[in-house]
Amino acid sequence: MRQTKRSGTKPELALRSALHRRGLRFLVDCAPRGTNRRRRVDILLRGARIAVFVDGCFWHSCPVHAHLPTANRRWWRLKLRGVVLRDRDTDVQLSRAGWLVVRVWEHEDPDVAADRIRNLASERANL
């Protein structure tokens, strides 16, 4: 677990690059105002008030790729359930503070995800 990167994973870098190619500028690995300072957002589009998380399939229990290790299954089940509950709580906190939460799975195509985020940013800019 210590080797798991907090920021700058390959899927996150690919998404950030795709967003940057689309002209979007953002902050990386920061805590937005009005939320728990310990809960950090992977990519933050301040103007559009969009918080983007790039979730790993294992740690965040992807419905397509989730699996439990065979050793110590009970502990892992509780650990991963706690991660998912924390994710949902973070979503609620951000939403209450006026942020739109976007979650992208690590296996998603970064260009498709970047297009989706760009469209959401455009819609929010026109509000």
Domain count across the chain: 1
**C-beta separation of 18 from 110 below 8 A:** yes
Q: Above 70 in pLDDT, residue 4?
A: no
Does pLDDT of 14 surpass 70?
Answer: yes
The more confidently predicted of residues 25 and 2 is 25
In a domain, 22, yes or no: yes
pTM for this predicted structure:
0.90
pLDDT above 80 (res 5): no
Token reading at 51: 């918080």
Give the residue from 123, 112, 54 showing the smallest Cα distance to 87. Answer: 54
| Residue 127 to residue 116: CA distance in whole angstroms | 17
pLDDT per position as a tens digit, 90-110: 999 999 999 999 999 999 999
* Domain annotation covers residue 52: yes
Q: Give the residue numbers spanning the domain of 121.
A: 10-125
Q: For 50-85, what is each residue's pLDDT tens digit?
A: 999 999 999 999 989 888 888 999 999 999 999 999
Domain assignment present for 98: yes
Q: What is the pLDDT of residue 33?
A: 81
In a domain, 4, yes or no: no
Give residues with Cβ within 8 angstroms of 90, minimum separation 6.
35, 36, 39, 101
In a domain, 2, yes or no: no
In a domain, 102, yes or no: yes
Provide the CATH number for the domain around residue 90: 3.40.960.10
